[in-house]
Amino acid sequence: MTSMSTKTLPGRGDTDQQSTAGPERRAARRGFALRVLARGRQARAAWILAAPFLALFATFMLLPLVWSLLMSLTDTSSADLRTPLNVSFIGLDNYVRLFQDEQFFTALRNTAVFVLVALPLTLAAGLAAAVALDRGIRRFRAVFRVGFYLPVITSIVAVAVVWKTLLEPRAGLVNLVLGWFGIDGPAWLADTRFALPVMIVMAVWRNLGTVMIIMLAGLQSVPQSLMEAAELDGAGAWQRFWRVTFPLLRPALLLTAVTTGIGYLQFFDEPFVMTDGGPLDSTLSATLYAYKQFGNGNYEMASAASYVIFVLIVVLTVLQFRVLRDKD
């Protein structure tokens, strides 16, 4: 340590020794000076690079975000699209009206049922598929992976159309197959008992592939040595999964739970295409409610409803972080 410091001191005399450490040191000093000089240029370049994004972002994200909040606090019935600022503030009246609307509660309840059932099922199915593919399957792995992932990349409208025909009571595939087993299938989408469950099944079918892919990547990062060590210590397959694999997957699981949960809370396209919220509002989701308010020209109610959904998303996300976060 001491010899190092004497070497690098700019001492006169022993130039022989200094020549070994000098160039490095000088280069480092020059690099530092360059960096200080460059900071101004760097900042300018950074703002030039950031400007286009920030301009678009401010116009199409931040402005509408604030505007939406203001809108939910105003009475827009007197205004039209051309004069969006010609409104009067009425405080929380829209929210009060919203929560007095029974239909909104129905929509919230449907959304809650959808999220609470579909989310755990999706996570469990995706995780099971990933574990089975990772440990149990050696051949045709790509075929399985592609097949399970295919629904994820498909247009939800196309999927909804296909499922609608699948579920057709008399000429659909589902009731045909049920008929082989002597079961008289219901009129799925026209039945208040079955319409929402059908959409839950659809959601699980469509999204388990995302969970599977991310979990597969997570599983591949579980060190083989750790598994072997656990096996030698006498841990069974079940124990190895819960004690070794699962804790390591937790961050990936948290991420998929949060992103899938956010998507599920905005559940819209399937009921819009397949049932329009019916029968008897049994598939009316909170987003579909907001959309219908928007369609009827009740912009302030639509904004209020979407802010309620936003708050629910924040609450769900915080809860998920609480439950799934690493416990250190």
The interface with other proteins within residues 102-161 (CB under 8 A) comprises 129, 132-133, 135-139, 142-151, 153-161
Task: Tell which one of 248, 250, 269, 279 touches other proteins (CB under 8 A).
Answer: 269
Binder of other proteins out of 187, 268, 278, 324 (CB under 8 A):
268
Binding mask 57-86 for other proteins (x = CB under 8 A): x-xxxxxxx-xx--x---------xx-x--
User: Residue 230 contacts by C-beta under 8 Å, 6 or more apart in sequence?
Assistant: 239, 240, 243, 244
Q: Which of residues 281-310 bind other proteins (CB under 8 A)?
A: 287, 290-291, 294, 299, 302-303, 306-307, 309-310
Residues 224, 58: Cα–Cα separation, whole Å: 48
Residue type, 19: S
Contacts of residue 205, defined as CB under 8 A and 6 or more positions apart, other chains included, come to 151
Applying CB under 8 A, among 42, 78, 239, 296 the residue interacting with other proteins is 42
What single-letter amino acid sits at 142?
A
Site for other proteins, residues 157 to 196, rule: CB under 8 A: 157-166, 168, 170-173, 176, 179
Q: Which amino acid is at 12?
A: R
Query: Which H or E element spans position 74?
Result: strand 74-75
Residue 145 C-beta: closest distance to other proteins, Å: 7
How many residues touch other proteins under the rule CB under 8 A: the total is 107
- At closest approach, how far in Å is the CB of 6 from other proteins? 29
Task: Go through 69-98 and write b for each residue having 16 or more CB atoms within 10 A of its CB, e for each that does not.
Answer: eebbbbebeebeeeeeeebeeeeeebbeeb
Choose the binding region for other proteins from 12-20, 107-115, 188-196, 209-217 (rule: CB under 8 A).
209-217
199 vs 218 by CB, closer to other proteins: 218
Q: Which CB sits closer to other proteins, 235 or 273?
A: 273
Give dist(CA 142, CA 72) in Å, integer. 49
C-alpha distances in Å from residue 80, one per residue of 59, 68, 98, 294: 21, 15, 21, 13
- Residue selected from 214, 230, 244, 257 as contacting other proteins according to rule CB under 8 A: 214
